[in-house]
Structure 1
């Protein structure tokens, strides 16, 4: 038994459309399916039947839309100061002193 992976008419992977087939008993791979498993980490996996491989078809703008916005520099500076203070306090505590 082998898993086959479904793609649509534009060769875009249809997650959850996988089926198991029995190649040993002569069952054929249905049209719109491939034995090649989509690569992990693809946002919009697209299949290339000529190369028999999956590739990323999402635009960089689409991928970037899932990334969290960076913290404003003021927040980053504040966090750095807090980390430095906590590190100092921990070192003082480990030495047995108080700050």
Structure 2
């Protein structure tokens, strides 16, 4: 048995498969759209695809696809919202006090 790697019509990795069948000479029969070249054990690959001419795997994921896999930012917590609201109210109060003191001195 040998390990082979199946790819689809866009040459993207589908799955690893085990090959058991042999020809009359004892060589393993690799199915179409399969290769015995292992994809890189690279965590930075998002969507491995096989280049048949160069006999190597490459990254086929677009930047848009990669970005879509990243988690969206979490909404601010209640404490963060209260801190922002407190800062805004403090700024408004300081501005009102300054206006009030300016009106008193006239």
Number of equivalenced pairs: 74
Unmatched 5+ residue regions in structure 1? Answer: 79-99
Corresponding residue to 1:47 among 25, 45, 50: 50
> How far apart in 1 are the matches of 2:35 and 2:52?
8
Residue deviations 1:30-76 (CA, integer Å, cap 9, x gap): 2111011122332221100111111111111111111123457x77x
The residue that corresponds to 2:32 in the other structure is 31
| Local SS of the residue matching 1:63 | helix
1:6-21 to 2 correspondences below 5 Å? 6-15=6-15, 17-21=16-20
The residue that corresponds to 1:69 in the other structure is 72
Q: Larger radius of gyration, structure 1 or 2?
A: 2
User: Which aligned segments of 4 or more residues in structure 1 are displaced greater than 4 angstroms?
Assistant: none
> How far apart in 1 are the matches of 2:19 and 2:65?
32
| Local SS of the residue matching 1:46 | strand
> How far apart in 1 are the matches of 2:48 and 2:63?
14
TM-score, scaled relative to structure 2: 0.55
